[in-house]
Amino acid sequence: MKLELGYIDIKGIRFGDHNAVEDHVLVVNPEELLEPVLADPLIKTAHFEIANPGESIRITPVKDVIEPRVKVEGPGGIFPGVISKVHTVGSGKTHVLRGMAVVTAGPIVGFQEGIIDMTGVGAEYTPFSKLHNLVLVMEAVEGTGQHEYEKAARMAGLTTAVAIGELARDLTPDESVVYETPTIAEGYQEPLSNLPRVGYVMMLQSQGLLHDTYVYGVDAKRTISTLIGATELMDGAIISGNCVSACDKNTTYHHLNNPVIRDLLEAHGKTLNFVGVIITNENVYLADKIRSSDWTAKLAKFLSLDGAIVSQEGFGNPDTDLIMNCTKLENNGVKTVIITDEYAGADGKSQPLADADDLADAVVTAGNANEMIVLPPMERVIGTLNFVNKIAGGHDGSLREDGSIETELQAIMGSTNELGFNRLSAR
């Protein structure tokens, strides 16, 4: 597959009486963009707010972060099977509004929602503080169930991002980058044949109960391990629908900008032969874990991998899926590196993972989610502080009288992301 991403840099957002990108500034007509959102009978109220890097703003509770994109050439459209019709994506040309995101927020869905601070110490732990954020704040109709509210909020965010992405269709990109993945046959030809065959095993959160990820619109827990093109993710083939802890949640923005895939594509043909991506789900029951990890190992053998990178999403129960994937790959002769984060207690002295094995001897850590931090008060709050004491990472008394928050890193969006899309690690 060959995909060209054309990046249009966004350096600001402002409200206006029309929707456009003018001189690298996104102009938003809030009334027009809100029409499809408020058409959902489950959404009681909705409004937009703007948050720019460096401003004294706190956004919470955050549900998802989405980068606007538009398909300008090639088959399919952005977010196939959800917003666009079901077509295989990942080839052709796509325009990206780089430097901004649509952030969905509002009264809580699940207790594992998050915080984005646009300045201060908290901003240093989240990549989203560096973006110009158009925040869609929603409130559900009273009595709406959590799952129904999550779907309504998810669809509202995706619909808004696609509408904004459409504004970039006829723009000239500031930068264009071509990503191309070889066929299996091409991977055995010179010069690739002389390089180690490396694959990427991407574990998708799919435990249900607001822990869901969607592949071409299909709930990942209803799938089995399979192959997917690296560039398919860049067109929105995988989206977030989960409420796992904010620190290691893979938002839709993460899926669109997966750094493991980017780095492997960059190294392809130079130091390694990037053979492909295996997606596998994270399960609740042992039989399902065995099935998925068996299929992962089988596909890795089918691809004749020499090495693999395995990333997970979440912690605790998924640690078992992670170790099962790792050990089965290693036992098949595939050298494996796993990316995870740790829940090692505030002092860092507790067991960091719920499972372990001697074969898991090459580990990249994204940080300790239990590390405590004090977030200073902000001049402005987008959303509500009503749930700060209840979200994962908070505790009774987290929200102080002066507006500061004592919490674990667990509450900060993307702080210990297990794709390595963060600023923490260890050697």
Give me the catalytic one of 237, 243, 329, 419. Answer: 243
What is the side-by-side strand order in the sheet with 363-368? 226-228, 273-282, 197-205, 307-311, 335-342, 363-368
Token pair, residue 7, equals: 């990046």
Cis peptide before 182 (omega within 30 of 0): no
Token pair, residue 73, equals: 């050439």
Helix (H, G, I), strand (E, B) or coil at 321: helix
Which residue's entry shows tokens 């290693």?
Answer: 330
Catalytic status, residue 247: no
- At residue 311, what are phi and psi to the nearest 5 degrees? -115, 150
Contacts of 333 (CB under 8 A, 6+ apart): none
The 3 state secondary structure assigned to 120-168 is CHHHHHCHHHHCEEEEEEEEECCCCCHHHHHHHHHHHHHHHHHHHHHHH
Please, how many CA atoms are within 13 Å of residue 319, restricted to the half-sphere of its CB?
16
- At residue 75, what are phi and psi to the nearest 5 degrees? -75, 150
Element (H, E) at 331: helix 317-331
Count of other CB atoms within 10 angstroms of residue 202: 25
* Maximal C-alpha separation, the chain: 65
Q: Please give the positions annotated as active site.
A: 243
